[in-house]
Amino acid sequence: MNALTQLFPGALMILGACFVPLFRGRARSAYVLALPLLSAAHLALFSLGHQGSATLFGYTLELVRVDALSRIFGVIFHIAAFLCCLYAFHVKRPLEHVATLVYAGAAIGATFAGDLLTLFVFWELTALSSVFLILARGLDEPERRERVFRVSMRYLVIQVGSGVLLLAGTLLYYQGTRSLHFGRMNLEESPGALFIFLAFGIKAAFPLLHNWVQDAYPEASVSGTVVLASFTTKLAIYALARGFAGTDVLIPIGACMTAFPIFFAVLENDLRRVLAYSLNNQLGYMVVGIGVGTELAINGAAAHAFAHILYKGLLLMSMGAVLYRTGTIKASELGGLHKSMPLTTAFCIIGALSISAFPGLSGFVTKSMIVSAVGEAHLLVIFGVLLFASAGVCDHSGIKIPFFTFFAHDQGWKVQEAPKHMLLAMGLAAALCIGIGVFPSALYALLPFPEAAAQYHAYETTHVLTMLQLLFFAGLAFITLVRLGVYPPELPAINLDTDYFYRRPLKRFVVESYALASWVRERTWGMALGLRGRALASLRRNHEPPRGRLGEPWTAGATTLFAALMLFTLLLLTSSAGCGGGEDAEANDARLLLDRVGAIEGVPEQAFEARMERVEVLRRLPLRGESLIAVREACAEMHGALLEADVQNALIHSIGAPDEDTPAEELARLERAFTAAEAAAARVVVHRDACVDGTATLRARYAPDRRGSE
């Protein structure tokens, strides 16, 4: 048991995913289904407050941190992973199973990450694994391959970009606070926090950062969309709740998120894209809840995320089943399916009622917490926006989705009911939706602040009445508009979202700048080549290998030119920075000379060898100008003589004062040493004036205070 808690929650899914390709057929499906269950059992081993640490790059990392907030997300991620695997039971290719398991495991790992670096690792892993769910669609439908590839590259770049921001933010945050702990952060505290906030914001699909959701999710495979919609954005919600609870700016951001997708969702024809817009809108509620930041609001956000994963999964599963059976998901092509797919219809309606927060279903008991929290905080405008958005949700997700798919005008589809495993997955999700709606206390006990949740009662008369009023009016509006023929018709058209304004120009920019670069290159080199064109042409005819030119952008000559240019630049840089500085050579040399003389004087007298060496250097110093050379000679001579005198002195000392016993040869040596010392002293006298005066003059003239006077 102890060994298992060394692993992070979700590890079993990631590790287990590696072995999926080893199984075949039914055994593989069973194995895939078993992994989330095993992982859930693994999670149950961790007690609240558990902390596991690891060391990486010399940092102590908090690999696992279990508290109430991470636990509720961990639980729902496990449920979602199981439902997704069940829903994808029919998928033969191991690729999607592996991607799903790794993705879910990474999301769970990220939920329990106690520090920013671990969070980043899992954050990137979710990005890298999830992109395969989109790419997989290209395998099913080869004619869409090109489009799917482009979509998935956009998705990947944005997701990895979010990770990159997170990493940069983490590093900056660490620089500021010397801590990697992932806890409550302040936007004002460090610029790192701002980057982390943005990284979360991208994944949470903040307004203007949201386009990847609508771009990528509807392009994934039938089961892929369900998987995608379950994890990434909710992980971001968790991260925001952990790091930025009570950050005021989240309230307007969230309100904006709830309101604006409604217009797009009402117009959109692709029903999975409608759901992607409504995903955005639902995230808005959670973001508002996190922004309000009271215990009730955080509870609401977590509970809403929990319920949301279930009913949004349910809706996407039902739409997926329709796509699986009919091959289309366009509202303009569907209708009347309730006859052939009755069970799917029923499940879809349960999901639709849940998302519309119909009393008795999960959406109601969770959304009302957020709305109440906003009301308690006296944010009237926001409160109004949320109510408006509720009506909007009811319109596009609650009524439009089931109405246009299963009812409306019968398009004469004769298809089978959804496969059994899909029905089972939908049935389980629907049962959970109803269960939470009827017995909210079970969910409330899991919430981050269970005491606050226990005091909250969703089924108060005012809540229920307000909600019902709202829903009936929304329904009334829908019916009236459809009857009057004013409701936007379901047209096979493409709606432009805000990303239109950056996607095209960005692509254009890249392409254009590339073209510009090659144009400039061709022009400049073309001119140079033109001069020698004829000679070159004949050379080329004779010497070119049969396969044509290398296709190299630059010739060796061009590179040589660059090398010369670099050399020139480097020399220019060094000469302006180094010694010269535009002064004449003599000043330079003089300064060098002074420097060397100073260096000799700087060496203590005992370091005889070192002094000797420096005198030698001085003697060899390459100088220009007669006067400088004279000074150099004088100084070298003088210092040489001083050293010589030193040597002889040492010798005299070593022999010591003579007496009667001193042998004759010792006396002779002493004699010689005395003579040599005197001669050296004489030479010092001869050269001293020239040296001292010369250096003094030079010092005065060439302002030596910069260097050499050390």
For residues 21 and 625, which CB has a smaller minimum distance to another protein in the complex? 21
CA dihedral of residues 538, 540, 545, 547 (deg, nearest 10)? -110
Report the C-alpha gap between 273 and 97 in whole angstroms. 23
For residues 424 and 528, which CB has a smaller minimum distance to another protein in the complex? 528
Strand pairing report for 59-65 and 51-56: antiparallel
CB of 172 to another protein, least distance (A): 6
CB of 378 to another protein, least distance (A): 40
For residues 538 and 575, which CB has a smaller minimum distance to another protein in the complex? 575
Q: Cα-flanking dihedrals φ and ψ of residue 48, to 5°?
A: -60, 135
363 and 397 Cβ atoms separated by less than 8 Å? no
For residues 177 and 588, which CB has a smaller minimum distance to another protein in the complex? 588
Alpha carbon distance, N-terminus to C-terminus of the chain: 68
For residues 536 and 573, which CB has a smaller minimum distance to another protein in the complex? 573
CB of 710 to another protein, least distance (A): 12
Contacts 24+ apart (CB under 8 A), 176-183: 180/59, 180/61, 180/115, 180/116, 180/117, 181/62, 181/114, 181/115, 181/116, 182/62, 182/113, 182/114, 182/115, 182/116, 182/118, 182/119, 182/242, 182/243, 183/242, 183/243
CB of 119 to another protein, least distance (A): 11
CB of 585 to another protein, least distance (A): 9
Q: Cα-flanking dihedrals φ and ψ of residue 222, to 5°?
A: -50, -50
Instruction: Give which of 157, 129, 152 is closest to 139, Cα–Cα.
Output: 152
CB of 413 to another protein, least distance (A): 30
For residues 559 and 709, which CB has a smaller minimum distance to another protein in the complex? 559
For residues 254 and 708, which CB has a smaller minimum distance to another protein in the complex? 708
CB of 133 to another protein, least distance (A): 12
CB of 597 to another protein, least distance (A): 12
CB of 88 to another protein, least distance (A): 18
For residues 142 and 412, which CB has a smaller minimum distance to another protein in the complex? 142
Q: Compute CA distances 651 → 251, 638, 644, 648, 703, whole Å.
A: 91, 20, 11, 5, 41
CB of 124 to another protein, least distance (A): 6
- Tokens 């990220």 sit on residue: 110
Q: Cα-flanking dihedrals φ and ψ of residue 503, to 5°?
A: -65, -50
CA 435 to chain centre: 38
Phi-psi region of 179 (alpha: psi -120 to 50; beta: other; left: phi over 0): beta
Cα maximum dimension of the chain: 141
CB of 218 to another protein, least distance (A): 18
Alpha helices in 357-400 (DSSP H): 362-376, 380-393
Report the C-alpha gap between 278 and 271 in whole angstroms. 11
CB of 545 to another protein, least distance (A): 4
The β-bridge partners of 64 are: 52
242 and 288 Cβ atoms separated by less than 8 Å? no
For residues 138 and 320, which CB has a smaller minimum distance to another protein in the complex? 138
Q: Cα-flanking dihedrals φ and ψ of residue 436, to 5°?
A: -65, -35
For residues 339 and 620, which CB has a smaller minimum distance to another protein in the complex? 620
For residues 533 and 580, which CB has a smaller minimum distance to another protein in the complex? 580
The β-bridge partners of 270 are: 330
Report the C-alpha gap between 61 and 84 in whole angstroms. 31
For residues 57 and 604, which CB has a smaller minimum distance to another protein in the complex? 57
* Neighbour tally for 198: CB within 10 Å: 17
Report the C-alpha gap between 281 and 284 in whole angstroms. 5
Q: Compute CA distances 323 → 63, 189, 222, 422, 470, whole Å.
A: 40, 48, 7, 12, 31
For residues 412 and 622, which CB has a smaller minimum distance to another protein in the complex? 622
CB of 95 to another protein, least distance (A): 8
CB of 408 to another protein, least distance (A): 36
CB of 160 to another protein, least distance (A): 5
53 three-state secondary structure: strand
Report the C-alpha gap between 308 and 351 in whole angstroms. 10
For residues 144 and 688, which CB has a smaller minimum distance to another protein in the complex? 144
432 and 310 Cβ atoms separated by less than 8 Å? yes
For residues 51 and 560, which CB has a smaller minimum distance to another protein in the complex? 560
Report the C-alpha gap between 202 and 159 in whole angstroms. 8
Return the structure tokens found at 155. 């998705």
Positions in the binding site for another protein (CB under 8 A): 21, 55-58, 95, 120-121, 124-125, 128, 131, 135, 138-139, 142, 145, 149, 153, 156-157, 160-161, 164, 167-168, 171-172, 175, 191, 514, 545-547, 550, 552-556, 558-560, 562-563, 565-567, 569-571, 573-575, 577-580, 588, 591-592, 595-596, 599, 614, 617, 620, 622, 707
663 three-state secondary structure: coil
CB of 612 to another protein, least distance (A): 14
* Neighbour tally for 599: CB within 10 Å: 16
For residues 289 and 704, which CB has a smaller minimum distance to another protein in the complex? 704
Instruction: Give which of 267, 238, 308, 282 is closest to 71, Cα–Cα.
Output: 238
For residues 497 and 589, which CB has a smaller minimum distance to another protein in the complex? 589
CB of 112 to another protein, least distance (A): 16
For residues 161 and 252, which CB has a smaller minimum distance to another protein in the complex? 161
311 and 363 Cβ atoms separated by less than 8 Å? yes
Report the C-alpha gap between 488 and 542 in whole angstroms. 70
Instruction: Give which of 206, 18, 28, 12 is closest to 106, Cα–Cα.
Output: 12
CB of 532 to another protein, least distance (A): 17
Alpha helices in 244-294 (DSSP H): 250-259, 261-267, 271-292
